[in-house]
Structure 1
């Protein structure tokens, strides 16, 4: 399943570190003391640990001198009260704590059953039942770690026991990239408060976070409702607001007409998967435009779809039909006649269209981005994105360039990655948290093209179709991984799980 758990989070906004700090302050101003807010955060962490670990585990809580360290001191106390064996590790040369951290440090000093040791002593861990809790910096880190802390983190990473980071793994920033080869604690679990951090969602930084659980500590709801951001999480609450259950008094015309365009000699499987996924997503009428060499394969495997032949081994024309939504690109090939057919189509067709795979490569190679209709959806993976729009140094920069291009071209960009992002013409970014590495196989993107084409043809608003489509695609992939494993699951297994996702939504 997904690397994320959400415990009753009221909003799916992603805030900057400064906005989170302001949210904390507003919450405190409205009636809860800072020490009680720290207590609430620590209680949420301790309860999660109690649910997920056994009493035979021994917890080694490594604490800094700021409020993240204060969380750690409080967690240590609460775990001890729950019956766990606990040790606390601090920098013995620096006992200047933040005011709230100092209060919680004094509390654990009075507990004879909790040993307080220097950082250097944590390296002697030899109990395989030990668990390290990282409470060193939290989201407030805004500069590179000192050499002493780098040394500490490197050694902690070498200890072969589970590691839990409180709020954010030490060495990561909340909302920006880290330098290459930065020293970061490699967590198995991250327990974060109220909000996702953008760094959880990018490959350069998210790989340090392990399984992420977002804990609701009841920060001020009015502030969360009113604060503005361009970044959001696609969660199930949002999907249930978007999803339109199928009405009883309806017919095939109610659910739209999709035309999937693609396939070439040796690549008929790609357009077959797009067509099948469009049908599984609920399309009323589904057509496939493909070369004649794919006729028997498509008609025998998907009798529910209608076949339109175009060329012998490669597509040479793309027929325009009224009141249809087109998904173009899977398995299209690289032939000149196919390229001309695509360009001729785009010059005449001004309605929304989904462009993927070889269709994107044609546009990039010929500098034809101006042919993309407004409100079109493009679905590049990072390399295809680079071909289209140019090289970036990291995935944070790639998102920012995608925002710029989506606004400039007035299109929707679905940037495929470990956490696929939907970028809208209004510069909003929606990160998807369903899906898994088992989907990193040829054909998964073809399935997404079919899903998106189907949803838009069913009259979903384009933005909502993109959000729902990437979530549905990832959720079906999670169910496929559960049954078959990430290694063995196939894109066709994913297609066959789409129905199970709809059953759960219903």
Structure 2
């Protein structure tokens, strides 16, 4: 799914009205009806008090459309106008007149003179936040901030329209109290990037995208900087196997790493590479890794360094398709020297993780030795060592994009919504869960990426696909283990089920069927 920027959303709205020969007011009506349908499907006329707070721009206009339909369908609704400036949009004014024509109770006007004492919201009520939309470019004033605080104090379920009010789409907020804390956000057409970044995702617990009929040609043909990756996006990447194929068709992965006490990392990465479909896997470790690997994974071949505890000389005769390097490697002076020598002679594609990233960070001149489209998989502290500190998530993304362009590498920012970065493009993963915050999870991912590259997947596709499979596997096995008991080995065990899940058809619920055909009121 493409995630459109604020500017692209405005352009899409404009082209939609032109090509479909409708007015912006018609498009607003369509959006408001979709929100109403969503609520009506769930509430079925229940008389829970609904408080709709509307700003005086287009987001407020959407709220007024919703409020009007709630009124005409007999819901217990109170509408408020958050009169925060004197700049009212045309479509807001049109819908303000329309709601006055269907209700004896006109919207309650709120201004900076109000102390909100007359607004009584109980915990069992519902708040609809339609105060500010994506066009907000400055912090709300103090009295609007006080209103948002009243939302929080009430503990009522809060539904935001398009984005939680006070949240920008292209920068972080300076004061978190300026933003509505939404339980749910209904985002028009596609979600927003801020729903997936650590500093801004916390302002909405859940989100859902509502199709409001933006021009299809525009949606299909417009390139976006950000894509959201789910089953729909990864399924076309899948490479089926032919009947007469053999192990040599699926590549040879070399996992290079390990040190005394950290052979388990190589064990996990090697087994994950096999489970992802690599034809052959060889592990290159210090001598201390030999018995462990030969005993734990009989399918993996092992080559050892002469050193008992650390890799101090990389010398092998095999010709791997791809090398995954860094897991459990250590950063001793001898290992660092050996790693540098390896990079100078290496001819294979690389997947670089853990201590190999730390060694690159200590001597950044080595980055120039990386093959094109090398995949780097840092966790947050490793990323900081690699690109330097950042002040917020947007600066982090910009720094990673610049790094990717400078060295022509793929960088995977690991986290709750792992983001694959290549050049100026961002690919946000949707699978995974908090149970993956466990030792060895990253080693497993290194193995899966390496295994997919060995099978002939392009490096970017392999990274995107691997992150999806890694997270999906964890989601599947979570049902058996829960968050606390999930370990990295369980994720490997679930990779096969994640592959099978790609071809399962989701069961469509009655609710989904109702939403598939929006009702026009």
CA distance in 1, matches of 2:485, 2:80: 43
CA distance in 2, matches of 1:197, 1:462: 26
Residues 263, 331 of structure 1: 8 Å contact kept: yes
1:468 aligns to what? 465
Question: Which range moved further: 395-404 or 484-493?
Answer: 484-493
Unaligned runs of 5+ in 2: 111-115, 504-521
The number of equivalent residue pairs is: 493
Instruction: Find out whether 1:74 has 2:70 as its counterpart.
Output: no
1:24 aligns to what? 13
Q: How does 1:165-184 map to 2 (within 5 A)?
A: 165-179=160-174, 181=176, 183-184=178-179
Structure 1 residue 92, shift from structure 2 partner:
6.5
Residues 346, 373 of structure 1: 8 Å contact kept: no
Structure 1 residue 196, shift from structure 2 partner:
2.7
Counterpart selection for 2:135 from 137, 140, 145: 140
CA distance in 1, matches of 2:271, 2:47: 50
Change (3 A) 1:85 1:489: farther
CA distance in 1, matches of 2:105, 2:454: 62
Instruction: List 4+ stretches of structure 1 deviating above 6 A.
Output: 92-96
Structure 1 residue 469, shift from structure 2 partner:
1.4
Structure 1 residue 378, shift from structure 2 partner:
0.7
Instruction: Find out whether 1:33 has 2:23 as its counterpart.
Output: yes
Cα offsets for 1:173-198 (capped at 9, x unmatched): 11222225462111111110112322
Structure 1 residue 373, shift from structure 2 partner:
2.4
Change (3 A) 1:64 1:342: same
Structure 1 residue 101, shift from structure 2 partner:
2.3
Cα offsets for 1:320-356 (capped at 9, x unmatched): 4324211111111232222222212111003210000
Change (3 A) 1:371 1:89: same
Structure 1 residue 386, shift from structure 2 partner:
1.6
SS at match of 1:189: strand
Question: Which range moved further: 56-65 or 392-401?
Answer: 56-65
Residues 67, 100 of structure 1: 8 Å contact kept: yes
Residues 165, 191 of structure 1: 8 Å contact kept: yes
CA distance in 2, matches of 1:245, 1:273: 25
2:452 aligns to what? 455
Cα offsets for 1:342-391 (capped at 9, x unmatched): 21211100321000001111111133322322221111122212211222
Change (3 A) 1:50 1:501: farther
CA distance in 2, matches of 1:312, 1:123: 73
Counterpart selection for 2:381 from 380, 383, 400: 383
TM-score (norm 1): 0.91
Question: Which range moved further: 90-99 or 74-83?
Answer: 90-99
Question: Which range moved further: 287-296 or 358-367?
Answer: 287-296
Residues 52, 63 of structure 2: 8 Å contact kept: yes
Counterpart selection for 2:242 from 220, 241, 247: 247
CA distance in 2, matches of 1:122, 1:302: 69
Instruction: Find out whether 1:358 has 2:355 as its counterpart.
Output: yes
Unaligned runs of 5+ in 1: 1-11
SS at match of 2:277: coil
1:47 aligns to what? 37
Cα offsets for 1:284-343 (capped at 9, x unmatched): 111112223233332232222122222322222333432421111111123222222221
Counterpart selection for 2:263 from 268, 284, 287: 268
Counterpart selection for 1:229 from 224, 244, 255: 224
SS at match of 1:332: coil
CA distance in 2, matches of 1:504, 1:248: 21
Cα RMSD (Å) of the superposition? 2.3
Structure 1 residue 84, shift from structure 2 partner:
3.9
Instruction: Find out whether 1:400 has 2:398 as its counterpart.
Output: yes
Change (3 A) 1:51 1:457: farther
1:63 aligns to what? 54
SS at match of 2:4: coil
